[in-house]
């Protein structure tokens, strides 16, 4: 996670990543809505890429030129057969961004690949599918919660150091 000094003037590591803190036009694809296009600076980013895991999340926080905040959550898959997803939201304040991060349910990102064949499945197999789906939802929530904790921790450490 790399915060920039632009966030409440509290983060001082933008020199590590030159792209942070520089105003630019960003385009954030969203699910079920038009892309979010805005001008602003990237304040912080955290990603959860881990070798051996089939997917990873990327969380990005921006400050727009009109002093609002954008939260972007992207989900990338290792397999090319899966389609990466992206979503974004705009908020008036940073605490609202943090609240949204805490409330985000990564379980909704799990694809329930239930086909029409379930109509003829025996109950035991249906139950097995349900258990598998529940495990995948729990895994996604666990994965995302760890990344959120990492992002908050790094932001807090940067604010303390400033």
Distance CA 125, CA 134 (A): 14
| Window contacting another protein (CB under 8 A); options: 21-29, 59-67, 108-116, 153-161 | 153-161
| Window contacting another protein (CB under 8 A); options: 27-35, 59-67, 113-121, 143-151 | 143-151
Interface with another protein (CB under 8 A), residue total: 27
Residue 146 in the binding site for another protein (CB under 8 A): yes
Burial readout 127-160 (b: 16 or more C-beta within 10 A, e: otherwise): eeeeeebeebbebbbebbeebbeebbebbeebee
Q: Figure out which of the listed residues 51, 79, 115, 117 binds another protein, where binding follows CB under 8 A.
A: 51
Looking at beta carbons only, is 36 or 158 nearer to another protein?
A: 158
Residue 60 in the binding site for another protein (CB under 8 A): no
Q: Figure out which of the listed residues 39, 50, 65, 108 binds another protein, where binding follows CB under 8 A.
A: 50
* Selection from 55, 52, 103 nearest residue 75 by Cα: 55
Distance CA 104, CA 87 (A): 11
Residue 35 DSSP SS3:
strand
**Radius of gyration (Cα) for the chain, nearest Å?**
18
Looking at beta carbons only, is 35 or 95 nearer to another protein?
A: 95
Residues at the interface with another protein (CB under 8 A): 48, 50-54, 98, 102, 105, 135, 138-146, 148-150, 152-153, 156-157, 160
């Amino acid at each position: 996670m790399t915060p920039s000094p632009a966030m409440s003037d509290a983060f001082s590591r933008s020199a590590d990543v030159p792209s942070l803190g520089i105003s630019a036009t960003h385009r954030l694809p969203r699910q079920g809505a038009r892309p979010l296009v805005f001008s602003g600076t990237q304040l912080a980013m955290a990603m959860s890429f881990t070798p051996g895991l089939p997917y990873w999340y990327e969380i990005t926080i921006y400050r727009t030129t009109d002093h609002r905040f954008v939260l972007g959550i992207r989900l990338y898959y290792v397999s090319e057969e899966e389609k990466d997803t992206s979503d974004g939201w705009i908020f008036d304040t940073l605490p609202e961004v943090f609240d949204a991060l805490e409330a985000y349910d990564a379980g909704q990102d799990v694809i329930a690949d239930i086909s029409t064949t379930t109509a003829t499945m025996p109950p035991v197999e249906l139950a097995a599918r349900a258990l598998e789906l529940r495990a995948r939802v729990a895994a996604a929530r666990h994965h995302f919660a760890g990344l959120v904790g990492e992002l908050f921790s790094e932001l807090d450490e940067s604010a303390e150091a400033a």
